[in-house]
């Protein structure tokens, strides 16, 4: 019996995202707490930023008409520190001014203090200013009425600062997806439970649990970490069914291949539906997507089953789970952050599957390849600061342009 061709990522992702209806409900959070959340409203500015024309230097605010030649002498009639405001400047006058202080009416330039010589209540201006110099204009950052951020934007630290700059102490954001996280595998041991020297033959530490939980949390999810499910059919079914009740998504790692010890797939087929299974990507071929019915008989929780091999788990998370949980929050930008870069290595063996090779940017502006691309070698994802998205059937020559995805951005 011939197997159907594996689904490509470009076929799978739209199927997946079509089911990622944004969760209903909006939460109001303090702007302090907004990092990484997805905005659920457009933010319009009720004011100009900066509010007034102000000085970008410590120096003297002058009228250009009074300083036609170097060495002009002006009378210093006022002092304007940041946080205060002055009064109109008359002909022949200068105002001592500091960075951030409003420009007094009548002044049309600031001369930095290094170009001035103060002497009692006069100042000698050594430089002929050009109109507008060292003045930051009102509204040059944000004009009143501007939309500074849009619904669906993911809040970065800089975005939180921008929201604060227009006076917003709280923000409406999408509710957190509730995600149940399971690891499967009888070989798994939790770090801390058994010391390295006491590990039984065949046992390995559970590493997926740590990066999957951290990745989910960074993406704004509320994670219920439900530990390790043993490789047994009943236990797997019971765990999935219980988790479906109070979660939007159930995420598992391991147990989705075709071995006799892989119980996740049949359990999903029994208690829900399997929409997708197996993708033409490397690492990461085993990947399951579907749903698990809840007891009410109408609603269901989404299900995503990642491969057990750590690098496969990591890469499939970034390729598939990341856009999915962002879409549940109504995020608009879901694509990986890719850019063209030059390979500084040879990759002579083409693969039928689309590959994601772990690489690192070098000092010459190119990419070096991690020598061991095995799906079990998690070192590759730490040594590497990115992956190359290599299309199916392609070799790579040194000097060739490839599509590079930065891991720092992709994991953020």
Residues lying near ligand AMP in the complex (CB under 6 A) = 183, 185, 187-188, 204, 206-209, 253-255, 257, 307-310
Query: Binding partner of residue 54 among ligand AMP, Mg ion, none, CB under 5 to 8 Å per kind?
Result: none
User: Which tokens is 252 given?
Assistant: 């598992």
Name the minimum Å distance from CB 317 to Mg ion: 17
Query: Binding partner of residue 257 among ligand AMP, Mg ion, none, CB under 5 to 8 Å per kind?
Result: ligand AMP
Helices (H) and strands (E) in the chain, counts: 9, 26
Query: Binding partner of residue 107 among ligand AMP, Mg ion, none, CB under 5 to 8 Å per kind?
Result: none
Q: Which is nearer to ligand AMP, 307 or 384 (CB)?
A: 307
| Cα 367 to Cα 359: distance, rounded to the nearest angstrom | 6
Name the minimum Å distance from CB 146 to ligand AMP: 47
Query: Binding partner of residue 59 among ligand AMP, Mg ion, none, CB under 5 to 8 Å per kind?
Result: none
Name the minimum Å distance from CB 376 to ligand AMP: 6
Residues that bind Mg ion (CB under 5 A): 185, 254-255, 308
Name the minimum Å distance from CB 325 to Mg ion: 24
User: Which tokens is 412 given?
Assistant: 């953020």
Name the minimum Å distance from CB 378 to Mg ion: 16
Q: Regarding beta strands 366-369 and 338-343, do their DSSP bridges make them parallel or antiparallel, or are they unpaired?
A: parallel
Query: Binding partner of residue 187 among ligand AMP, Mg ion, none, CB under 5 to 8 Å per kind?
Result: ligand AMP
Cβ atoms of residues 338 and 404 within 8 Å: yes
Name the minimum Å distance from CB 42 to Mg ion: 46
Q: Which is nearer to Mg ion, 209 or 322 (CB)?
A: 209
Q: How many CB atoms lie within 10 A of CB 264?
A: 30
Q: Which is nearer to ligand AMP, 151 or 253 (CB)?
A: 253
Q: Which is nearer to Mg ion, 125 or 188 (CB)?
A: 188
Name the minimum Å distance from CB 235 to ligand AMP: 14
Q: Which is nearer to Mg ion, 268 or 369 (CB)?
A: 268
User: Which tokens is 368 given?
Assistant: 């070096």
| Cα 167 to Cα 81: distance, rounded to the nearest angstrom | 22
Closest CA to 224 of 188, 293, 178: 178
Query: Binding partner of residue 375 among ligand AMP, Mg ion, none, CB under 5 to 8 Å per kind?
Result: none
Q: Which is nearer to ligand AMP, 146 or 187 (CB)?
A: 187
- Number of residue whose CB is nearest ligand AMP: 308
Cα 286 to Cα 25, 253, 312, 378: the distances in Å are 33, 10, 9, 18
Name the minimum Å distance from CB 260 to Mg ion: 11
Q: Which is nearer to ligand AMP, 50 or 308 (CB)?
A: 308
| Cα 377 to Cα 386: distance, rounded to the nearest angstrom | 15
Name the minimum Å distance from CB 142 to ligand AMP: 47
Query: Binding partner of residue 34 among ligand AMP, Mg ion, none, CB under 5 to 8 Å per kind?
Result: none
Query: Binding partner of residue 384 among Mg ion, ligand AMP, none, CB under 5 to 8 Å per kind?
Result: none
Query: Binding partner of residue 307 among ligand AMP, Mg ion, none, CB under 5 to 8 Å per kind?
Result: ligand AMP
Q: Which is nearer to Mg ion, 107 or 188 (CB)?
A: 188
Burial class (CB in 10 A: 0-12, 13-18, 19+), 158: exposed
Name the minimum Å distance from CB 55 to ligand AMP: 58
Q: Which is nearer to ligand AMP, 257 or 342 (CB)?
A: 257
Cβ atoms of residues 205 and 308 within 8 Å: no
CA 402 remoteness from chain centre: 22
| Cα 348 to Cα 78: distance, rounded to the nearest angstrom | 74
Identify the DSSP state of 190: -
Residues in contact with 245: Cβ distance below 8 Å, sequence separation at least 6, in sequence order: 294, 295, 301
- Long-range contacts (CB closer than 8 Å, 24 or more residues apart) made by 104-108: 104/61, 104/78, 104/80, 106/63, 107/61, 107/62, 107/63, 108/62, 108/63, 108/64, 108/132, 108/135
Q: Which is nearer to ligand AMP, 72 or 252 (CB)?
A: 252
Query: Binding partner of residue 215 among ligand AMP, Mg ion, none, CB under 5 to 8 Å per kind?
Result: none
Residue with tokens 């929409």: 275
| Cα 118 to Cα 1: distance, rounded to the nearest angstrom | 93
């Amino acid at each position: 019996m011939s197997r159907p061709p594996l689904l490509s990522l470009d076929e799978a992702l739209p199927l997946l995202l079509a089911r990622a209806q944004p969760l209903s409900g909006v939460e109001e959070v303090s702007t302090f707490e907004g990092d990484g959340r997805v905005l659920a409203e457009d933010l319009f500015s009720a004011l100009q930023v900066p509010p007034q024309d102000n000085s970008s230097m410590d120096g003297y605010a002058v009228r250009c008409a009074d300083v036609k030649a170097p060495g002009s002498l002006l009378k210093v009639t006022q002092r304007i520190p940041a946080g205060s405001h002055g009064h109109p400047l008359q002909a022949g006058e200068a105002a001592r001014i500091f960075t951030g202080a409003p420009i007094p009416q009548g002044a049309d330039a600031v001369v930095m203090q290094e170009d001035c010589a103060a002497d009692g209540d006069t100042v000698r201006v050594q430089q002929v200013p050009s109109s507008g110099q060292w003045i930051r204009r009102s509204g040059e950052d944000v004009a009143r009425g501007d939309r500074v951020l849009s619904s669906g934007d993911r809040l970065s630290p800089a975005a939180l600062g921008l929201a604060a700059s227009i006076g917003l102490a709280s923000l409406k954001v999408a509710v957190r997806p509730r995600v149940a996280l399971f690891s499967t595998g009888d070989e798994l041991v939790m770090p801390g439970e058994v010391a390295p020297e006491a590990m039984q033959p065949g046992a390995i530490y559970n590493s997926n649990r740590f990066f999957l939980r951290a990745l989910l949390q960074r993406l704004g999810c509320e994670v219920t970490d439900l530990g390790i499910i043993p490789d047994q059919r009943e236990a797997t079914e019971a765990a999935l069914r219980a988790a479906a009740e109070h979660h939007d998504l159930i995420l598992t790692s391991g147990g989705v291949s075709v071995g006799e010890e892989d119980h996740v797939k049949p359990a999903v087929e029994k208690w829900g539906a399997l929409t997708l299974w197996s993708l033409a990507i490397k690492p990461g071929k085993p990947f399951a997507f579907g749903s698990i019915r809840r007891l009410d008989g109408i609603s269901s929780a989404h299900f995503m089953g990642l491969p057990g091999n750590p690098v496969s788990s990591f890469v499939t998370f970034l390729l598939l789970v990341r856009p999915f949980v962002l879409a549940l929050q109504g995020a608009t930008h879901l694509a990986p952050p890719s850019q063209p870069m030059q390979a500084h290595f040879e990759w002579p063996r083409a693969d039928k599957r689309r590959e994601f090779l772990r690489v690192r940017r070098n000092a010459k502006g190119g990419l070096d390849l991690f020598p061991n691309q095995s799906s079990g070698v998690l070192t590759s994802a730490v040594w590497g600061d990115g992956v190359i998205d290599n299309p199916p059937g392609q070799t790579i020559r040194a000097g060739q342009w490839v599509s590079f995805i930065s891991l720092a951005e992709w994991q953020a």
